[in-house]
């Protein structure tokens, strides 16, 4: 199933987004609703809250006095952290139980205010952030919910900043307009990205770029590094429990500032032994993260010419997200292919003249080849010389892979 995390600051309108996604067919789990359930009378979580914060946060009927608790924790970061430590595990367990019932081809939406603060976004295929300026949020909460302005500002201050949410966001929905504007934006997201993404996951199909080379190679984009950072973080989180990974790195042309490239994020996963990738738990973790193995692509071109092909083998996977094309190259740590991927990136980053020469070669070949596949093959002779020059640079500068 496709996992979508929806978040936003208090009063941003994220509940409107989640509600509309539910109307479109998604299975929505509301973290706030679950949080209320786990502190109902008789729940073990409520007893732990009482032990930590005292009887003043409990009403006479034995229920939680949420306003009293909020007055204690929101102005005090340590108290808020203590509350999170009590409620977080109980909420996570119940949320996981409900999401486990979603059909394989379904869309599971997790409406979670603290998705970014708790770094839970790394476990979602996509993070959707609903954004509204602070003053508008304050006005809405005071006028529509009857909250005090000081209380609202304390709550906003205790949450992530807009900048922190944007860093984690695959999609930002601007809720500065009318409610209908927001609904239309959600509908477009559903039809253009979420439904195709869910379908790709269900049938094990990776997203595809246009075949025309001139259509898929673009000028440098400002969002490449941020997109790559999210991919790296998610892959690292997905594979952490397997114990096979040495590092996850952004590589390829999109990792070099100022270089035109195919609009594809290339990521290298270094592993201790390539055979580990064939373990069931490793393969399952990669598939669950949204990546599909491509069995026809299992080796890079060896450099220099005549080098042993065995040192350039890899596993290759493609991402299922139609809104962010990703290629994952899994290589054995220390292998020639692994080393060159990192060296090539760092060499071009530090040598602008070489970066510009590579860009010129790309433009020359784009003028000659219409097919993306032909364009990729035509670049190989240039890479042989690049390998020689990059290694000379590494020897001259003392470069070592990080």
- Residue positions forming the annotated binding site for ATP: 11-16
What is the C-alpha to C-alpha distance for residues 273 and 342, in angstroms, rounded to an integer? Answer: 18
Q: Is the peptide bond before 304 cis (omega within 30 degrees of 0)?
A: yes
Q: If we measure between CA atoms, which residue out of 219, 170, 152 comes closest to residue 319?
A: 170
Q: If we measure between CA atoms, which residue out of 263, 252, 255 comes closest to residue 213?
A: 263
Question: In the numeric block, which tokens belong to residue 37?
Answer: 């359930």
**Residues in the annotated binding site:** 11-16
- Determine contact, residues 141/10, Cβ cutoff 8 Å: yes
Degrees (nearest 5) of the Cα angle 228, 229, 234?
Answer: 100
- Taking the CB of residue 397, how many other CB atoms lie within 10 A of it? 12
| C-alpha distances out from residue 183 to 127, 173, 196, 219, 301, Å | 17, 10, 19, 32, 49
Q: If we measure between CA atoms, which residue out of 261, 232, 237 comes closest to residue 329?
A: 232
What is the C-alpha to C-alpha distance for residues 117 and 236, in angstroms, rounded to an integer? Answer: 18
What is the C-alpha to C-alpha distance for residues 270 and 268, in angstroms, rounded to an integer? Answer: 6
Treating both helix axes as pointing N-terminal to C-terminal, what angle do 14-24 and 179-189 enclose, rounded to 10 degrees?
A: 50
Burial 127-155 (b: 16+ CB within 10 A, else e): bbbbbbebeebbebbeeeeebeeebbbbb
What is the C-alpha to C-alpha distance for residues 227 and 168, in angstroms, rounded to an integer? Answer: 9
């Amino acid at each position: 199933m496709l996992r979508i995390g929806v978040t936003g600051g208090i009063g941003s309108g994220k509940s409107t987004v989640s509600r509309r996604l539910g109307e479109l067919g998604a299975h929505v789990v509301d973290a706030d609703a679950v949080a209320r359930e786990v502190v109902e009378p008789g729940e073990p979580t409520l007893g732990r809250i009482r032990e930590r914060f005292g009887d003043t946060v409990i009403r006479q009927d034995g229920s939680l006095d949420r306003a009293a608790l909020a007055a204690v924790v929101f102005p005090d970061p340590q108290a808020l952290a203590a509350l999170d430590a009590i409620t977080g595990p109980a909420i996570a367990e119940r949320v996981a139980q409900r999401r486990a019932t979603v059909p394989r081809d379904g869309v599971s939406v997790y409406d979670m205010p603290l998705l970014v603060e708790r770094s839970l976004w790394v476990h979602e295929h996509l993070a959707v952030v609903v954004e509204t300026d602070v003053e508008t949020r304050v006005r809405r909460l005071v006028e529509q919910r009857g909250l005090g302005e000081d209380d609202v500002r304390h709550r906003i201050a205790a949450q992530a900043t807009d900048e922190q949410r944007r860093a984690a966001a695959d999609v930002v929905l601007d809720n500065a307009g009318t409610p209908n504007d927001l609904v239309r934006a959600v509908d477009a997201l559903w039809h253009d990205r979420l439904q195709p993404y869910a379908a790709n996951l269900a049938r094990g199909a990776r997203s595809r770029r246009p075949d025309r080379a001139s259509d898929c190679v673009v000028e440098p984009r400002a969002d490449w590094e941020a997109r790559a950072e999210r991919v790296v973080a998610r892959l690292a989180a997905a594979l952490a429990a397997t114990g096979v990974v040495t590092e996850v790195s952004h590589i390829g042309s999109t990792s070099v500032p100022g270089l035109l490239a195919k609009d594809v994020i290339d990521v290298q996963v270094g592993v201790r032994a390539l055979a580990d990738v064939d373990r069931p738990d490793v393969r399952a973790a990669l598939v669950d993260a949204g990546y599909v193995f491509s069995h026809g692509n299992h080796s890079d071109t060896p450099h220099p010419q005549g080098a042993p092909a065995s040192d350039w083998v890899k596993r290759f996977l493609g991402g299922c997200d139609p809104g962010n094309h990703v290629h994952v190259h899994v290589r054995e740590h220390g292998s020639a292919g692994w080393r060159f991927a990192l060296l090539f990136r760092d060499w071009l980053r530090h040598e602008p003249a070489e970066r510009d020469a590579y860009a010129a070669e790309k433009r020359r070949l784009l003028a000659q080849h219409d097919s993306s596949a032909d364009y990729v093959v035509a670049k190989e002779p240039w890479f042989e010389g690049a390998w020689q020059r990059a290694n000379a640079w590494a020897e001259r500068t003392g470069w070592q892979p990080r």
